[in-house]
Structure 1
């Protein structure tokens, strides 16, 4: 009995020594690499802080896309509910389940129109392209309907990239530092026109690369909408008059 206790105690002491070595090794590793670990944490914090604007814009864009496509989402929900209700007898012959499903669909469908009809205004671009020659100054038509003041709204004109604006107006200021470098010094919004919901963009000194689709986007912090305008830059053919006439 006594020998067994001695043996057990010896094993415990042996294990304690092993555990102690492990703790010492872990401590040594952490202390040796603390600078690297600290640098990694600092780099992660730096990256997040540096890209917080991009992350925020991504979240805004996702929200914008979902709200913009609310009609499509609503149609999808309606179709799913219609299909399930039509086939509920085949799926499961239960009157209680049918009533529950019906109530669920009605609740969802009643909420979606509430969201989609709260906007009260839309953004209207133009179906007719703006056609001009290189070097011309043009107006890209766009307005809010019904006519509301856009002075306190965010007004953003962009092409392919939302975060690379052709022109950005926000907090009653033109934020030119965020503007696409290809358009610097060539765009303007009319302060007077903004008061009546006219968010048309003046684009000066047209370049061939300016051809394309432009999106005008307005955001009043409770809703946002957009419209589109196409620009075509092309040299016009001129017929030369015969000499002597």
Structure 2
């Protein structure tokens, strides 16, 4: 299987990370990985590093991307800095989830209703979006040690139940990864936490998409000759040219 990694795919990746600046470790072999609800409102910045794993003699420069993550009780948003695009998910009163693909430079967005996501087989899991880890696999993580990263308490875990083990450093108070690394499909994906704040204390100006031009996903077929729509089709969920 060939995996093509593009800017547009990064906000949805299950991320991986290697972080330094740790203090003395202490083993906690039986400490389970927990997700404590409700989750605190958080703003964080990450760097994702993608490296190819192959036996050829050709050197491959790793790809690096900075991106930001915003979490509140009913909304999750990512902002990919290299191309100034992002994604957002909103949890509706009935528990369904609406989704938007955001293009900040062009001030345009593509709006997906919950029914659209169901129709294209892309139904998001809120807890997974909110924590950046697969909550279905929490019981597989085994604690290895604890320390501090960026002045915050973390516990290091590994999941060795898969063919490609996952490494995780879990920020306990923030309920987010500080370190998450996974290998697979010829790549190692490593994401490290750069900074984390309470949502209201973040030093960055969060993009405001309220006045963006909106295109409903259901109307994309009627606008396939529009220059902007044509340019972004490969980046969109549920289109024939979209790469997963």
Place the TM-score, normalised by the shorter chain, in its bin: under 0.3
**TM-score of the aligned structures, taking structure 2 as reference length:** 0.20
Q: Which has the higher helix share?
A: 1
Higher relative contact order (Cα pairs below 8 Å, separated by 6+ residues):
2
Q: Which has the higher strand share?
A: 2
- Greater C-alpha Rg: 1
**TM-score of the aligned structures, taking structure 1 as reference length:** 0.20
